[in-house]
Amino acid sequence: MSPKSPHEALRQRSLKSVWHPCTQMKRHESLALVTIARAEGVWLYDGEGRRYLDAIGSWWVNLFGHANPRINAAIREQLDRLEHVMLAGFTHEPVVELSERLSKLVSNQLGHCFYASDGASATEIALKMSFHYWHNLGRPEKNHFVSLQNDYHGETLGALSVTDVALFKETYAPLLRPGSHVPTPDWRYASEGESPQEHALRAAAALEAHLAAHHAETAALILEPLIQGAAGMGMYHPDYLRRARELCDRYQVHLIADEIAVGFGRTGTLFACEQAGILPDFLCIGKGLTAGYLPLSVVMTTEEIYAAFYGDNPARAFLHSHTHSGNALACRAALATLDIFEQDGIIEANRGKARYLNQASTPLATHPQVRNFRNCGMIWAFEVETSDPSFPGKFFQAALRQELSLRPLGNTVYFMPPYVINEQEMDLLVAGTLAALDAW
């Protein structure tokens, strides 16, 4: 027997000691883990002479490439001053500056920032704050939530209760508090001859009917604005958001916008809600907030909601905490991320990149196995016509052989590349995807 390579040894140690996320571990009896030794720009390097284009941004977080010199420098500089201090009773420059700058970016209406580490925690915070607001106003019966069919808001128990993805949810149903889901505006569900806008307005009518019947016991509507990510990048018309805002106002229900995946330019504007010209009562952000470097999430909310918690009675306060709330290193990474957006005119530059990738993708969009090729901002997606249930795993492997990291959601293949991707890399992405489509 030949001696094991160091990479094979690492794979085996990982399988013994690391329980990998979202994985049936037995699959790794036949599917080799990919060991990553280092990364730079859009490329992941495995140390065995292979590289992979990080076409889904390391689970939707990486914006400005790996080992970005400016973000690296900002974190290093912060590291020498203050890595972390608890945020109860203490504060520090990075968390204050980040809160001020985020508020300015969303027009100063959401001026109060509450920090956690992961997206699911941000969902929990928004749900609890919404309920607690109504409780403080003497309306404790407003304790139900409504979300969209196929929505995803994270996988802790509260977040899973407002999530509607059977694969993640079904097993845990007995642990969850049942919520309501209203029909999705996703245009893949449109009827024959119905435009995306007509379909969105029909879905909004269903929301109206739900709120008319249940507003008295409903605290909030939570939704993923414009794109339902985990549902397979389902895209919908912004008119749905405009109607949702009007209906929430009319029926005194909070609107929680979960921009954890779509925030920070993914839909073509800094935040997706901008495209509908609306502001939510709670804005949840995470993932791209630190350009993928460190876990950090925020819930931003209004003066009115903040004021309902303010007073002498401790029970009126939001007594919720996460140990690493407002971590200084993570906040510094987020500030460096905002600097890059501003200094490099990223939103505008991305428009040119999106035009290029759309044009380059013509052979994909017209491929005989491809359905519903679509793009919004810096997200591309399409369905592959097949009834083979092992498509996602097989396609993932075929893509790796083409130097691409692509991880389909069911039959949906999607691109969520770092914004630093250049034209040559976009060409490689399309050519590799075409080759994987023919080879899986």
Ligand X SMILES: *Cc1c(COP(=O)(O)O)cnc(C)c1O
Catalog residues that contact ligand X under the rule CB under 6 A: 118-120, 123, 152-154, 224, 229, 258, 260-261, 286
- Is residue 381 marked as binding? no
- Is residue 286 marked as binding? no
Closest-CA residue to 278 (of 321, 248, 319, 312)? 248
Q: Between residues 151 and 383, which has the closer beta carbon with respect to ligand X? A: 151
User: What is the strand order of the sheet 370-376 is part of?
Assistant: 370-376, 379-384, 412-415
Q: Between residues 62 and 402, which has the closer beta carbon with respect to ligand X? A: 62
- Is residue 322 marked as binding? yes
Q: Between residues 136 and 301, which has the closer beta carbon with respect to ligand X? A: 301
End-to-end CA distance of the chain: 31
- C-alpha distances out from residue 19 to 22, 23, 394, Å: 9, 8, 22
Q: Between residues 123 and 361, which has the closer beta carbon with respect to ligand X? A: 123
Minimum CB separation from ligand X for residue 229, in Å?
5
Are 212 and 254 contacting, i.e. CB atoms less than 8 angstroms apart?
A: no
What gap in Å lies between CA 221 and CA 52, rounded to an integer?
Answer: 39
Minimum CB separation from ligand X for residue 24, in Å?
19
What gap in Å lies between CA 304 and CA 302, rounded to an integer?
Answer: 5
What gap in Å lies between CA 203 and CA 190, rounded to an integer?
Answer: 10
- Is residue 4 marked as binding? no
Minimum CB separation from ligand X for residue 41, in Å?
23
Minimum CB separation from ligand X for residue 249, in Å?
23
- Is residue 43 marked as binding? no
- Is residue 5 marked as binding? no
Q: Which residue is nearest to ligand X (CB)?
A: 119
**Amino acid (one-letter) located at 191:** S
Are 247 and 207 contacting, i.e. CB atoms less than 8 angstroms apart?
A: yes
**Amino acid (one-letter) located at 439:** A
Q: Between residues 230 and 384, which has the closer beta carbon with respect to ligand X? A: 230
Alpha helical stretches, state H, 283-390: 303-307, 328-343, 346-360, 362-365
Minimum CB separation from ligand X for residue 123, in Å?
6
Minimum CB separation from ligand X for residue 49, in Å?
32
Q: Between residues 110 and 223, which has the closer beta carbon with respect to ligand X? A: 223
Q: Between residues 231 and 436, which has the closer beta carbon with respect to ligand X? A: 231
- Is residue 231 marked as binding? no
Minimum CB separation from ligand X for residue 154, in Å?
4
- Is residue 13 marked as binding? no
- C-alpha distances out from residue 361 to 348, 356, 426, Å: 20, 9, 9
- C-alpha distances out from residue 262 to 54, 195, 266, 279, Å: 18, 23, 5, 15
Annotated binding residues, written as ranges, equal 59, 119-120, 152, 258, 287, 321-323, 407
Residue list for the binding site for pyridoxal 5'-phosphate: 119-120, 258, 322-323
- Indicate the annotated binding residues for substrate: 59, 152, 287, 321, 407
